[in-house]
Amino acid sequence: MPENLPNRSSDRVKYMILGCGSNGYNVIEELAHDDESILIIDQDPKRVNDLRDQNYEALVYDIADPTILEKLPIPEVVFILSNDKNANLDAVRKVKEVHPSAYVIVRAMDRLSLPLLEQAGADAALYPQEVYAKTAVHTMRRLHSSRLA
């Protein structure tokens, strides 16, 4: 069930996370080091309560709802990280329509989605398996070159 936004001191937020599964949670943990405002949106009430228990600002909404952005603070950066391919694509379009100056980083569910998400307006579309593979190979090369030095 959707909720009203808690009393905020500002109508802006640095980071907005749409969808908070394991990828979203890891992004939040990295962002928490920045000491900036983070607002998390997820459709799972239990997940939202768990995030609140960890002192994160989190609300229950379905990111497929096209009206949610009008109810939320203005974001500087939006991470769209659900595991729903179509919801992510629709969310990119909606964020760019409502908040055209916001940076949008989105999770691609497969390689074929990457160009579609970018054409929809994403500033960066990331396919987690590809990111992991590139990081693993880069790490291996760095380790190998340090042994040769």
In a domain, 5, yes or no: no
> What percentage of the chain has pLDDT greater than the value 90?
85
List all residues 6 or more positions away from 31 whose beta carbon is below 8 Å from its beta carbon. Answer: 15, 38
The model's pTM is 0.88
In a domain, 2, yes or no: no
> Given this model, what pLDDT does residue 87 score?
95
Count structural domains, the chain: 1
In a domain, 3, yes or no: no
In a domain, 87, yes or no: yes
In a domain, 65, yes or no: yes
Q: Give how far Cα 140 sits from Cα of 130, 132, 145, 149, Å.
A: 15, 12, 9, 14
Range of the domain at 82: 12-148
In a domain, 99, yes or no: yes
Tokens of 25: 């949670």
| Tens digit of each residue's pLDDT (9 = 90 or more) over 46-55 | 999 999 999 9
> Given this model, what pLDDT does residue 6 score?
53
Query: DSSP string of 91-142?
Result: HHHHHHHH-TTSEEEEE-SSTTHHHHHHHTT-SEEE-HHHHHHHHHHHHHHH
In a domain, 69, yes or no: yes
* CATH number where 23 lies: 3.40.50.720
> Given this model, what pLDDT does residue 35 score?
84
| Tens digit of each residue's pLDDT (9 = 90 or more) over 67-100 | 999 999 999 999 999 999 999 999 999 999 999 9
Mean pLDDT, range 5-27, rounded to an integer:
85
**In this structure, how many other beta carbons lie within 10 angstroms of the beta carbon of residue 106?**
28
Quick one: which H or E segment has residue 13?
strand 12-18
In a domain, 73, yes or no: yes
